[in-house]
Amino acid sequence: MMLECIAGYGLGGSTVALFARVGGGIFTKAADVGADLVGKVETGLDEDSPLNPAVIADNVGDNVGDIAGMGADLFGSFAESTSAALVVSGTSEGLMLTSGAIYYPLLITALGILVCWVVSFLATEDFLFDVKEEEADIEYIQDQLKIQLFGTTILLTPVLYALGYFTLPETFSVGNPNNPVLFKPDISHWDIGFAPLIGLYAGMIIGYVTEYYTSHTYTPVQEVAKASTTGAATNIISGLALGYVSVCIPILCLAVAIYVSHEIAGMYGIALATLGMISNLAMALTIDGYGPISDNAGGIAEMAELPKEVRKRTDTLDAAGNTTAAMGKGFAIGSACLVGLALFGGFITRCNILDVNILKPLQFSGLLVGAMLPYLFSAMTMKAVGETGLQMVGHSWR
């Protein structure tokens, strides 16, 4: 009963995250668009000029949208995946009777934070990968940030595997034995460690693929830049095509992670794969926050009328941060997909639902409506950004 009630914790976190992410995202993008329209199009001011009042809103928006919003979003994913794993584990008599086994999902979270803290020292002063000012070009900074993500993944590999081996019983089952669809018998503690690991490495691959499609160092962005020389139309066409093709590898990674983790431990394995993907959340969120922090630093330097070389440094950091921020967003979307399946798995496991037949008219209709809603929400948020940006331009003129 306790594990069933804890599902409300994850749903509450997701509900608040919805408003923080959408509200903060609309504000930050509207402020950015408004500041650019006023400064660059209407009055010819420099970027982040102290004469442009919309710049202040832009700087605040970086905090509420890209920092607070992303943090709330990933917290919701973390809470939901943990709740889903706990709810499914409540169906296992072996896990409930083994001391400490029920806390396995929580231990993944705790050790992930500890490992991220240890790896963070790799980029500090007088350590292995200190960023020297004379070497701080865009590629060098990006490499240092990618090393952090790679380092946490490598260090978490033995930690997560050993955690499952020493925490869980030698064999256990999950699900209702009377439900052959959801029942997974004879899960070995030798195998269970691979479930979070498959999610961990899928997340790393998604992050690196996102970096490939957003960094100016590689061919995709260079092709979009080349297409931009002939006008805005070819830029939009090339950019949309790049965005569509960039999702192929992440989707394949998610498909492999779902299949393998389900083969290992059923719905419990999918929930563990989700936790594994976001076990290095502390590092991923740090990398994601690098971009808006650098952007804010550039705005402050411009508004404070600091020397030109200061703004040159912040622009270099901002350019690198734009790519690393995209890595964090790809990571967040991938984990959200697994979280949704984990929550659904927890629901059907506790309710003992035998199957969901999408060939039935009601279920198929729900599938179509659900597939339509993201487009509706996207259209509404895009329209809100445009309207708010125009209002900001009008207030700036007055």
Give the integer Cα–Cα distance in Å for 110 and 156. 12
Per-residue model confidence as pLDDT tens for the chain (398 residues): 566 677 777 778 778 887 887 887 788 777 777 777 776 666 667 666 777 777 777 777 777 777 887 788 788 888 888 888 888 887 777 777 777 788 888 888 888 889 888 888 776 655 555 555 545 566 777 777 778 888 888 888 999 888 888 888 888 888 777 777 677 787 888 888 888 999 889 888 888 888 888 877 788 888 888 888 888 888 888 888 988 888 889 899 889 998 998 888 888 888 888 888 888 888 888 887 777 887 788 778 877 778 877 877 777 777 777 777 777 777 777 777 887 787 777 777 777 777 777 788 888 888 889 888 888 888 888 888 878 777 766 655 45
Please tell me the predicted confidence (pLDDT) of residue 3.
65
Nearest Cα neighbor of 162 from 212, 122, 104 is: 104
Q: Is the dihedral of CA 91, 94, 100, 106 positive or negative?
A: negative
To the question of pTM greater than 0.75 for the whole model, the response is yes
Nearest Cα neighbor of 210 from 261, 146, 154 is: 146
CB 323 within 8 A of CB 211: yes
3-class state of residue 170 by DSSP: coil
Nearest Cα neighbor of 277 from 112, 117, 106 is: 112
Nearest Cα neighbor of 265 from 149, 187, 183 is: 187
3-class state of residue 359 by DSSP: coil
Give the integer Cα–Cα distance in Å for 101 and 52. 57
Please tell me the predicted confidence (pLDDT) of residue 4.
65
* Residue with tokens 């209407």, as numbered in its chain: 42
Give the integer Cα–Cα distance in Å for 85 and 106. 9
Give the integer Cα–Cα distance in Å for 319 and 321. 5
* DSSP conformation letters of 193-225: THHHHHHHHHHHHHHHHHHHHH-TTSHHHHHHH
Q: Give the domain ranges of the chain.
A: 2-397
Tokens of 175: 């699900």
DSSP H or E segment with residue 107: helix 104-119
